[in-house]
Structure 1
Amino acid sequence: MIKLIKSIPFHVKSAGKSVIRHLALTISSSSAVMVTLLLMSLFLLIAGNIGAFTKNIEEGLGILAEIDDSVSEQADLDALQQEIEALPHVEAVSFSSKDEQLDRFISNQDKSAQSLYEAYRGEGNPLHAAFDVSVDDGKNLETVQKALEKMDGRIVKADFGGTTTSDLVDGLSTVRIAGGALTLVLSCLAIFLISNTIKTTIYSRSHEIAIMRNVGATNGFIKMPFMIEGMIIGLIGAIIPMLITFFGYRYLYGVTGGKVLSSAMFTLQPIYPFVLQVCGLLLLAGIVVGLVGSFLAVTKYLRWKR
């Protein structure tokens, strides 16, 4: 271990010389990594924001459970609320009176029509008191809704938006998963590209490797400079994607005001720390794929020449 640590400066120096000596291969490989990481950055940004959209939508979703008018005593309301709170996947339950339901209904109407509904206040209010039910996950909305509808005689109707809302949540989740899978595929592609570039470098230095083996160099000693070289290539390839990601996202956030479609539900992830996390992942991805790609290439070559 001590010998390995002492030899690191030598390996770094050798890798640096190799990068400069084979500048054309370095630029070619770094360019391939750069394009791959740019695509990876795009999907990371999309996946991260879709995750935020999904969370905002799910937090904004709830079930409106309308209470039958026969349940009017406070003791009965408290008992019904406790029963709903005990249902699986229910996070919170809040009571809303008939007047509050009417206020909510009126506020959602056009200003020109709001005055028309004022006549329904008091005893003429046709709406029901209700419980606003929050669930732990948007996927459980339908399950909780069915449980509420089974409370015959006490719950008149339980509504959350129906299959359209469920399909929206499921669709966003699918896109998020697909983005993660595509990011993984792009990582594998970057490893393949770097592996092939390092392999070309190894073939051009086969005579040097043969001499190192003849003087007793171990496989680990031979691999080290190539692995460091791969990390340098990955690092160089990550610089431009990081800059484009940081300044590009900051510009997009400023232009849109942090909102898509001017909706609070579709709010972009804040610049900090989100964009810094993405840049950190790009840097890490560049170094890791460079390391893994070079390790695979040199290990395969040494196995062939054993």
Structure 2
Amino acid sequence: MAQFGKASAKRSKPSYSMAILGVTIVLFFVGVFGWLLLNASRYTEELKEDIKLQVYLRRSATQADVDTLMQYIKSRPYTNTVEFIDKEAAKKQWMAKGETDFQELLDENPLPASIDFNLKSMYVQKDTIAAIKTDLEQRQLVVESVKYPAFVVEKMGSSVRVGLIVFAALAALFCILSIVLIDNTIRLAMFSNRFLIKTMQMVGATRGFIARPLTMRAVLNGLIAALIAIFLIYGLMMLSEYFLPYLSDLRDNGKVVILFAFLIILGISITLFSTYRSVVKYLKMKLDELY
């Protein structure tokens, strides 16, 4: 029994470094995928918030009417930014596009004043914008018409839906693969501890006594792996933003913190679960089955 104990102790030397390395690699790729997903989501939001609705005003509209309409639009939950474009500003925008100076042919500026506003990203949907347009056009004494790039909105809506489905499918697949890979990595690491676990059981140790140090070590390993992965991901983010500065505009620090917290929870929970499951497995096996 003494010889068996010495031999098993030698064979059961824990391979924590390989387990940490394996979990770190998986968490790193999970984090990079999550970071790309956050950037894609933020970029989509910015594209949506660039959609502009133009409320063209009647020539007969008084300043009081315009101010009332401005306040109404500002008070709506869908409004992001609002700007009043008077006739002179409209002319400058027209000329900036390289269009012909109409005042060479006309005595007055034919361009109407307008209220231009951008929507919050969650309201940039075909049906929602159509309802907003209908609501504003009911104010016929002030509003002449409401214009927006309907084709762009429709195409963007369909593209976003397809993108969300693809990303959701990839995210689900990636999470499943990550869990399986981490589980296999921990099980391989625990394989070297099988004789130690069995030896402790043979001398009368309880399951809780045997599992406690191994599960505590699993929590530590998961935390170390997650922190290393986070450090590498953050370094990649900073390097990417150095060479591609516009990426810094897409970064949402709050969501990045949530991503890093998710990696820590994922690393700890999976290593803890896999370690405990391996301990129970080897406790149930007969001595001859360990070889």
**Corresponding residue for residue 3 of structure 1:** none
**Corresponding residue for residue 106 of structure 1:** 95
Structure 1 residue 144 corresponds to structure 2 residue 132: yes
Amino acid at match of 1:132: D
SS in structure 1 of the partner of residue 112 of structure 2: coil
How far apart, in 2, do the equivalents of 1:182 and 1:274 lie?
19
Amino acid at match of 2:246: K
Q: Is the 8 A contact 2:12 2:192 kept in 1?
A: no
Q: Is the 8 A contact 2:56 2:113 kept in 1?
A: yes
**Corresponding residue for residue 21 of structure 1:** 13
Offset at residue 171 of structure 1 (A): 3.6
How far apart, in 2, do the equivalents of 1:231 and 1:95 lie?
58
Q: TM-score, normalising length from structure 1?
A: 0.68
Q: TM-score, normalising length from structure 2?
A: 0.71
SS in structure 1 of the partner of residue 246 of structure 2: coil
Amino acid at match of 1:75: A
Structure 1 residue 57 corresponds to structure 2 residue 53: no
2:271 to 272, 278, 290: 290
1:245 to 233, 248, 254: 233
SS in structure 1 of the partner of residue 205 of structure 2: coil
Deviations 1:24-74 (A, max 9, x none): x852x44543442232122122122123223333333331111233x3222
Can you give the 5+ residue segments of structure 2 that lack an aligned partner in the other structure? 1-8, 287-291
User: Taking structure 1 as reference, are residues 268 and 153 closer, same or farther at Cα in structure 2, changes over 3 Å only?
Assistant: same
How far apart, in 2, do the equivalents of 1:18 and 1:250 lie?
44
How far apart, in 2, do the equivalents of 1:82 and 1:178 lie?
40
How far apart, in 2, do the equivalents of 1:45 and 1:204 lie?
35
Give aligned-pair identity as a percent: 22
How far apart, in 2, do the equivalents of 1:64 and 1:148 lie?
11
How many pairs align? 274
Q: Is the 8 A contact 1:101 1:129 kept in 2?
A: yes
Q: Is the 8 A contact 1:41 1:278 kept in 2?
A: yes
Question: What is the correspondence of 1:111-130 to structure 2 with a 5 Å cutoff?
Answer: 113=98, 116-117=100-101, 119=103, 124-130=108-114
Question: What is the correspondence of 1:161-176 to structure 2 with a 5 Å cutoff?
Answer: 161-168=149-156, 171-172=159-160, 175=163
Offset at residue 121 of structure 1 (A): 11
Higher alpha-carbon deviation: 243-252 or 82-91: 82-91
**Corresponding residue for residue 226 of structure 1:** 214
1:41 to 20, 25, 31: 31
RMSD: 4.1
Offset at residue 253 of structure 1 (A): 1.2
SS in structure 2 of the partner of residue 64 of structure 1: strand
SS in structure 2 of the partner of residue 21 of structure 1: coil
How far apart, in 2, do the equivalents of 1:152 and 1:300 lie?
76
How far apart, in 2, do the equivalents of 1:166 and 1:195 lie?
44
Amino acid at match of 1:102: K
Amino acid at match of 1:148: L
User: Taking structure 1 as reference, are residues 232 and 238 closer, same or farther at Cα in structure 2, changes over 3 Å only?
Assistant: same
